[in-house]
Structure formats: structure tokens, C-alpha cells
Amino acid sequence: MNPLDAKQPSYDSVRAVQWLDAKLRLLDQRVLPHTVSYLDIDSASDTAAAIRDMVVRGAPAIGITAAYGVVLAVRQALTHDPQNWQTRLQADIETLAASRPTAVNLFWALKHMQSCIAQLPAGTDPVNALLAEAQRLHQEDIAANQRMGELGAAFLQQGGKDCALTHCNSGALATGGYGTGLGVIRSAYAKGYIRHVFADETRPWLQGSRLTAWELVEEGIPVSVICEGAAASLMREGRIGWVVVGADRIAANGDTANKVGTYGLAIMARHHGLRFMVVAPTATIDMQAADGRAIPIEQRDASEVLGLGGKTIAANGAQAWNPSFDVTPAELIDVIVTERGVVEKPTTAAMAQLMAGQ
């Protein structure tokens, strides 16, 4: 893959999750952008720790990582107890499920892999069969992102403005590759519909300034990082047509949990007459959650807010409130883009119709 091929730029050079030499290889997102290093993982417990500690993050990437984690768990269980491997496996699946609570893709992937295990034909090598399934999910995610890129870019073409604003990182780093929200931005840039991207820096983890900006610079797509506090003024300048974000879980009525700060952007976008797009594969839609109130919101350690880069910044003795996500009500969302199609002005009925169509 040569992303910077002068004749045909693919804008698609980044892969955060790989299966290499019978191990799971993760690009360590805690130290990007100034250090590019990889972790090789060969156990389910180390996979769960990598998700919990944000070596890998972003809803679809967490799901794909968990699917590979199940492959590692099966291999370990077969080595230690070939007769009762399925019983031993259960504990590892529970450890993976406990790694992070909000992104539903994690639970979707674990359920999917468990149902594959239940249906393994007699005489099949479980490790090979499950690895093939994890790799299929991974490839399907990339294909879904490319499809969403096409569908979403068409809306940006109609936006009439040549800049878009995004929050957090919904790019190749957050997915199997290409990205959800950032996939739409990649696609729109490749087609000439936008010329510039603004990225919220995204406190406290700085996914915007560290990860989104890194991905876009890698691809040669012009990006300006803004403090979240500058977003309203930027909108008032009139250069932005669309706010484009990913999602960690979408409820049955279209309410969307995404990185904390997304809700505020949606309110500001509505106030300034901009449009607001959520881009996510159907694996991110949780039809069991009737609305956003049913989505569990991860609370992370206060130290993430009180410090930066391992150094305390806030006054000693201050406390912090650190919800990692917030819920944007469906009525503030203009369009949800999925690999199965788009839902404009999402409602429970429209979401059900999308999910019923195959």
C-alpha cells in the first residue's frame, strides 16, 4: 500500500490492528504521534489489558481486537486443557468483556465469536477456523468503512462548504482501517468536496491532536487542531458545512454515545445552522437499548483530567469528573451513515427499518 502514490492517492495507509506471526500486533496509540511502536500480544488477558489501557481504542477497533483476543484465548485453552477447553475459555471471554463498557462493538464481536464456536463442525481446528472468522470481520469492517465513506461524502458535497469539523478519532486507528467519520472525510477529500479538516483536540486523551491529526498528516490531508472551546467561534465563521463524528453505541431511537464533547458540538451545530453526521457500522447499533439512557457511560480515572502526559496540571487536592462519553439526542443528528445505508433525521421507526433490511 502506498498512500502517497502521486497518481492515485488512496488516503488509506494506516492499520492499528494486525495479525502477524501468529500474534496480535497493536499499534500503541498511547504514545502516538511522536513514537510509533507496536505491541505483540499472545494472550487474552493481555488483549483485555490493551483495550482497557487504550493501547487500542475506538469502537470497531476494540471489537476486532476482541475477536482476535478470542482466537488467542482458544489457543491457550486448547494448550492447557484440550478436553475442556470451552469451559476454560469462558473466563477469558469474561475478562475481555470487562475491559471497557461503552463501545457495543466489543460485546457484538464476543457474541459473534461465541456463536461461531458453538457452530464449529466436528473435526475442525478451532484456532484456524476462528482466526479465519476474526480476519473476515476485520476485512468486512474495512469494506464497510469504504462504503460509508462513499455514502457520507455525498452529503458533504451538498454542504457547499469546503471544511469539516471532527471530534476524537474515528479513523483507521479506531477501526479495522480507513475509518468511520474520518473515512467519510478521507473520501470527501479524495473527491475534492472538502479541502481542510478541523480536529477538536479532544481532552483528556487528545485523540484529536495526537491521533486524528497524525492520520491526516500521514495522508497529506490538511488539518488544523482546535481547542474544543474554539468550536463555537469556528462555526460562527461560516467555513464549516458539516460536523462528522463516529459512535461508540447508537440506541434503537438513534441517540448516539460518542466521545465526551460530541453532544456539545451537536448543540452548537444546530445553533449555527450546520449539519451533524454520525458514521458507524451497524455493529455499533444496539437495538436492545431503547434510547440513550440505556447506554452505560464509562467513567475513567480522575488523573486523566487532572494531568497531562503523566504530569499533574490541576491544583493539588482538586477532584475531577471524567465521563469518557456523552449521548447526543437523535433530534440533533441530521444523518446516521451505516454500511447498509443512511438514516436521515433518525427515529425508532427509521432505525428499525434500516436494521430489518439486509
The residues of the shown chain that bind ligand RUB, judged by CB under 6 A, are 57-60, 168, 170, 174-175, 179-181, 207, 246-248, 258-259, 280, 324
Q: What count of residues does the chain have?
A: 358
Q: How far apart are CA 264 and CA 245, in angstroms?
A: 12
Contact 33, 199 (CB under 8 A): no
CB of 62 to ligand RUB, least distance (A): 7
Nearest residue to ligand RUB, scored by beta-carbon proximity: 246
Q: How far apart are CA 42 and CA 57, in angstroms?
A: 18
Q: What are phi and psi of 246, to 5 degrees?
A: -90, -160
DSSP letter assigned to residue 284: G
CB of 37 to ligand RUB, least distance (A): 18
CB of 8 to ligand RUB, least distance (A): 25
Q: By C-beta, is 101 or 159 nearer to ligand RUB?
A: 101
Q: By C-beta, is 95 or 258 nearer to ligand RUB?
A: 258
CB of 268 to ligand RUB, least distance (A): 17
Number of Cβ within 10 Å of residue 176's Cβ equals: 26
Kindly name the residue from 92, 141, 200, 248 that is annotated as catalytic: 248
CB of 252 to ligand RUB, least distance (A): 18
- The residues, ordered by sequence, that sit 6+ positions from 87 with a Cβ below 8 Å of its Cβ are 81
Letter for the amino acid at 100? R
Q: By C-beta, is 76 or 212 nearer to ligand RUB?
A: 212
The beta-strand segments (E) located in the chain are 17-20, 23-27, 38-41, 163-166, 196-200, 223-226, 240-245, 249-251, 256-259, 275-279, 285-286, 307-308, 311-312, 325-328, 335-338, 341-344
Q: By C-beta, is 193 or 263 nearer to ligand RUB?
A: 263
Q: By C-beta, is 174 or 333 nearer to ligand RUB?
A: 174
For helices 59-80 and 126-159, what crossing angle results, to 10°?
180
Residue 286 a catalytic site member: no
Catalytic residues: 248
